[in-house]
Amino acid sequence: MKKFLLFVIGICVVISLTGCFEVVEEVSFNADGSGTINITANLSQSKSKINATLLLDSVNNQKVPTKDEIENYFSDMVSRIKKMPGIKKVNSSINIEEYIFTLSCDFDNVETLNSVIAHFSSKRDAEMIKKYKHFAFDKANKTFKRSYHYNLTDAVSKTEIEDRKLFDAATITTIYRFPTEIVSSTNSAAKISKNKKAIMLRLTAADVLKNNQSIKNTIKIN
């Protein structure tokens, strides 16, 4: 997910102070640990400011991408995912006028999912994923674990202080669905659905970047 987040951040750093965006990560699990992941980046509320910024050559010494470059980057990301073993039914959409990007695929197991994430990370981050696992599903103990070991703070720290305010209005939402009921969750900010088969966590990007809150969670199911 890091590349996807950095892709969003790369666009967002050129938005002026009141810009905002939303990133949603949805994962639906089957009993055997396979499942479907869907990631959406919605920057539509900032489209006017993005359009104005795209008229510039650079902002804060960072090159401003063209719409074609944004589309090409996204398309290249999707093409590489389609070639990964254990990944099927890769679907994507891009609304360049509204700046809404979606990416979904089926995965054979969470190891495959971790491999995809590692594939789109730096060598150092890829090794960290292999060691710590951002996604883990223990079928025997019926436990799902979402970890997070990236340091996006470094990327954001390179932007102007005023520009960082855009993350105050930005949100990151994770939604996980399971075939059986959820027994417990270690993240107190996460909300379990009425049927106890789904759990949602919604945080501001600023809190995540400042380490005030975390998307980390360990979920026990029946």
Confidence bin at 66 (pLDDT 50/70/90)? confident
Predicted confidence at residue 111, as pLDDT, reads: 87
Calpha distance 207→78 (Å, rounded):
29
**Cβ(201)–Cβ(173) under 8 Å?**
yes
**For helices 123-132 and 110-119, what crossing angle results, to 10°?**
160
- H-only helix segments in the chain: 2-12, 47-53, 67-82, 110-119, 123-132, 153-157, 166-169, 205-209
**Cβ(187)–Cβ(216) under 8 Å?**
yes
Q: In this predicted model, what pLDDT tens digit does every residue of 74-115 receive, in sequence order?
A: 888 889 889 989 999 999 999 989 989 999 999 999 988 887
Which structural domain range is residue 155 located in? 2-11+19-221
Query: How many domains is the chain partitioned into structurally?
Result: 1
Predicted confidence at residue 17, as pLDDT, reads: 37
If phi > 0 it is left, if psi is from -120 to 50 it is alpha, else beta; for residue 35 that is left
Predicted confidence at residue 121, as pLDDT, reads: 57
**Residue percentage of the chain with pLDDT more than 70:** 72
Closest CA to 166 of 1, 2, 4, 8: 8
Give the residue with greater pLDDT, 117 vs 196. 196
Mean pLDDT of 134-150: 86
pTM metric for this prediction: 0.82
Which amino acid, residue 149?
H
Least confident of 16-25, 99-108, 152-161: 152-161
Q: What does the CA dihedral 158, 161, 162, 168 come to, rounded to 10 degrees?
A: 90
Predicted confidence at residue 152, as pLDDT, reads: 57
Predicted confidence at residue 146, as pLDDT, reads: 92
